[in-house]
Amino acid sequence: MSLRELKRQRTRQALVDAAIELFERDGYEQTTIAGIAAAAEIGTRTFFGYFATKEELLFPESDVRVRAAVAEIAARGPQDGPAEVLLRALQRVGDDSDDLTGRLAALRLRLIHEVPAVRGRALQMQLDAQQEIARHLAAAFPDELDPVTAAALVGAFVGAVTGALQALLDSTARQNPAAVQKAVQRATGVALRPWLTHGVRRDPPGAV
């Protein structure tokens, strides 16, 4: 990583950290972009070189899970099924990032419930991610998945992750990253069990 890239990464993280502090202290609606930029010691115009909106600060790693899933799909082995690939991608994200288990994750889930703009952004990003992963998955497993079954599989996977995190939102286990990761893995294992056990096979053309 070049010095310029390292500086950009540090500035980006400083913005996220400042936003977390201000959102928690002053509330989401009361926090302004100018205030976040000032707390991160940059100009307001510079802020927009990193994030387009205030909502985006809550999703700084929005593409991490998509990239991980696409990478695992591309690196699949001959014995790997689509469900195994998705579960391995989740494990990879958990090992490399605290995006699902850290302080920001808890704040993001709370604001999704409380702030319509944040909820709308989250839903749009989730839909875009599901479509992207399903597209790659269907292309990688053409004998097992068509666009519909690929969408169903990815929907079950993403829904399990989201449901587990929401269930833990008010739980003391939410303070324990290892417990959160374990709960998410358990939820996805339950959701994808039919595919892990039996696989997904589309009906041949003309089948009733």
What pLDDT, in 10s, does the model give residues 67-89?
Answer: 888 999 999 988 889 999 998 88
Residues of the chain with CATH 1.10.357: 59-198
Among 42-51, 166-175, 196-205, name the most confident range.
42-51
Largest pairwise CA distance in the chain: 64
Distance of alpha carbon 3 from alpha carbon 105, whole angstroms: 29
CB 181 within 8 A of CB 164: no
Average pLDDT of the residues of the chain: 85
Portion of the chain with pLDDT greater than 70, in percent:
86
Who has greater pLDDT, 86 or 175?
86
Distance of alpha carbon 143 from alpha carbon 132, whole angstroms: 19
Task: Supply the pLDDT for residue 156.
Answer: 92
* Residue in 63, 46, 53, 11 with CA at minimum distance from that of residue 32: 53
Residues of the chain with CATH 1.10.10.60: 3-52
CATH architecture of 59-198: Orthogonal Bundle (1.10)
Radius of gyration in angstroms for the set of CA atoms belonging to the chain, rounded to a whole number? 19
* Residue in 45, 42, 37 with CA at minimum distance from that of residue 19: 37
pLDDT at 205 over 50: no
Residue 142, helix vs strand vs coil: coil
Portion of the chain with pLDDT greater than 90, in percent:
50
CB 100 within 8 A of CB 93: yes
* Residue in 42, 60, 43 with CA at minimum distance from that of residue 51: 60
* Residue in 133, 51, 120 with CA at minimum distance from that of residue 93: 133
CB 102 within 8 A of CB 177: yes
Unique residue bearing structure tokens 């989250």? 122
172 pLDDT band (50/70/90 cuts)? low
Q: What b/e readout covers 60-77, taking b as 16+ CB neighbours within 10 angstroms?
A: bbbebbbebbbebbeebe
**What superfamily would CATH give domain 3-52?**
Homeodomain-like (1.10.10.60)
pLDDT at 203 over 60: no
pLDDT at 99 over 70: no
Task: Supply the pLDDT for residue 201.
Answer: 43
